[in-house]
Structure 1
Amino acid sequence: MPLAPVPAGPPPITLDDSQWPVLVVKLGRDPTESAVETYLAAREAYLARAQPHVVVIDTRAVHLPSPRLRQRYTDWLCQHERALRQWTLGTAYVINSPAVRMMTSVIRHCARMATPFLVSETLPASAAWAAERLHEAGLLQAATRLRAHYSVPAS
């Protein structure tokens, strides 16, 4: 039986929880509907841990997702608003594209997201902000680890 072809290039969405309670999400150029559903299921599992955490979403490689994917993500945010508010200490977005920046703003507005957030152009700036959220929540070891991992000074 022949093996299925392996898609070329990086995965459409990766999740790295090696610095938990920090979750780093990296979006590839063109996430598929299947990849988004897999990501949302994973995010739901992280929320089910019932642990405070921060999320860093790196969108530097992504182009504008389709309206259908944007709506799916907005709907998911609305459906999980309570858990997101309870367990997400903040979300840092790494965004270089003005169009993706606008899209993120619209999604957050439509989903009525009230959790703290930051939009920056670099991963170290987002990591520094995430470390501050951890520090403020009393997760000092996690904040120190995150700063060391991204070589950002304490503020």
Structure 2
Amino acid sequence: MKKYATIDSSNYPTIKVIFTGEQGNDDNFPFYMQEVKAVYEQQNKVVIMFDATNAVIPALKYQKMQGDWLKENEQLMKDYCLGTAYIIPNLIIRNVLKAIFTFQKQPVAYLVCKTMNDAEFWTKEQLNNDKN
């Protein structure tokens, strides 16, 4: 199975979810969501950067699945996520994200930006705010 996204926790507690450019399917999309949930299930505070630089537009059924996932895992996110940054240079994909958030609101602080630098700056602020 070709992965929809990879999870990089080498800079923990900053987690990077990097979309591979593979189209979502009935195998890789649920697997991606399980991997993200596993990050929260460690029950440690994290910030997550979703790097959608290479992302492809997911089919509507996967957009809905993502919205449902947000709803089902809302409490986990509130408990352990200090914020999520979405790196999305593509305007169309930024609009898809907005559509997903109409199905289910993002339960934690978030930033939608075009560059990794912006995301890194913002996530560091979120971590620093938690320490204060």
Fold shared, TM-score > 0.5 on shorter chain:
yes
* In the alignment, structure 1 residue 43 sits paired with structure 2 residue 36: yes
Bigger radius of gyration: 1
* In the alignment, structure 1 residue 13 sits paired with structure 2 residue 18: no
Q: State the 1:46 CA deviation.
A: 1.2
1:52-67 equivalent positions in 2, closer than 5 A: 52-67=45-60
Q: State the 1:58 CA deviation.
A: 0.6
- Which residue is 2:109 aligned to? 116
Q: State the 1:97 CA deviation.
A: 1.2
Q: Is contact 1:13-1:31 (8 Å) kept?
A: no
* In the alignment, structure 1 residue 104 sits paired with structure 2 residue 92: no
Identical positions, percent:
21
* In the alignment, structure 1 residue 90 sits paired with structure 2 residue 78: no
SS at match of 1:130: helix
1:66-110: per-residue Cα shift (whole Å, max 9, x none)? Answer: 011111111111100111111110000000111111111121232
SS at match of 2:27: helix
Q: Distance in 2 between matches of 1:77 and 1:138?
A: 26
- Which residue is 2:121 aligned to? 128
For structure 1, the 5+ residue unaligned runs are 1-5, 140-155
TM-score by length of 1: 0.78
* In the alignment, structure 1 residue 24 sits paired with structure 2 residue 16: yes
Give the alignment partner of residue 70 of structure 2, picking from 67, 77, 83: 77
For CA contacts below 8 A with separation 6 or more, give which structure has more relative contact order: 2
